[in-house]
Structure 1
Amino acid sequence: MKQKQVILSNEALELVAARFRILGEPMRLKLLRALLERERTVTELIELTKGTQANVSKHLNLLTQAGLLGRRKEGLHVYYSIADVSIFELCQMVCGRLREQFEQQAKAFSSSRF
């Protein structure tokens, strides 16, 4: 099946690269995974990711600025949630492709003789 070719402007390419940079940090992916089921407080996210308060807060702010997370304040607590669920589609695509590659590599090793 032939895919339609899309030519992106330099500005659009910068935006795409910025989105991938946001996702290029394991702690940010851990935070997204932790928020998959429901919104959580910073304290809960620190416990789930085993990060420090300063590190988790820094990454939460970056994810929020990028539009991936939403936040709301209730009393003394700040709750974070997923604002852009399409991010999980992208992660599923990448994970699926990696799984296929690893399976192909495993087959190559299992059929080889040394």
Structure 2
Amino acid sequence: MMRKAMVPESLLERAARRFKLLGEPVRLQLLNLLQQHGEMTVQALMEATGQKQANVSKHLGLMAKEGLLTRRKEGLNVYYSIADPTLSALCTLVCGQLRQEAFEAAGEG
């Protein structure tokens, strides 16, 4: 019996781009902050991460372009928030597996 594909052929490129975006620790840190605080400005994200404005803006722009984030401008401030509701579930699933692996590895020592 053949199983259903994990990633449909028609979505391979888009799925690979999404996973590539999530493969950068700074982006995960930004997503963590946005998940915890909801909407945040670039300035607030810079202060929370210690990253430079150009770096934060680059990562936010890439994630917004791919549809992971929304942005809105109010005066001089640009506010970002999470647009993709699947991000939280995806990260919870992956991190749960990583915790389980770490727990099992600790038990072997």
- The normalised TM-score by structure 1 is 0.87
**Aligned ranges for residues 30-109 of structure 1 at < 5 Å?**
30-36=29-35, 37-109=37-109
Residue segments in structure 1 that go unaligned for 5+ positions in a row:
110-114
Deviation at 1:104, TM superposition (A): 0.4
RMSD value over aligned CA atoms? 1.2
Deviation at 1:76, TM superposition (A): 1.0
1:16 matched to 2:28? The reply is no
Deviation at 1:15, TM superposition (A): 1.4
User: Take 1:43 and 1:97, find their aligned partners in 2: how far apart are those partners?
Assistant: 33
Amino acid at match of 2:94: V
User: Take 1:49 and 1:88, find their aligned partners in 2: how far apart are those partners?
Assistant: 20
After superposing on structure 2, the runs of 4+ consecutive aligned residues of structure 1 that deviate more than 3 Å are none
User: Take 1:75 and 1:18, find their aligned partners in 2: how far apart are those partners?
Assistant: 32
User: Take 2:81 and 2:8, find their aligned partners in 1: how far apart are those partners?
Assistant: 30
Which structure has the bigger radius of gyration?
Answer: 1
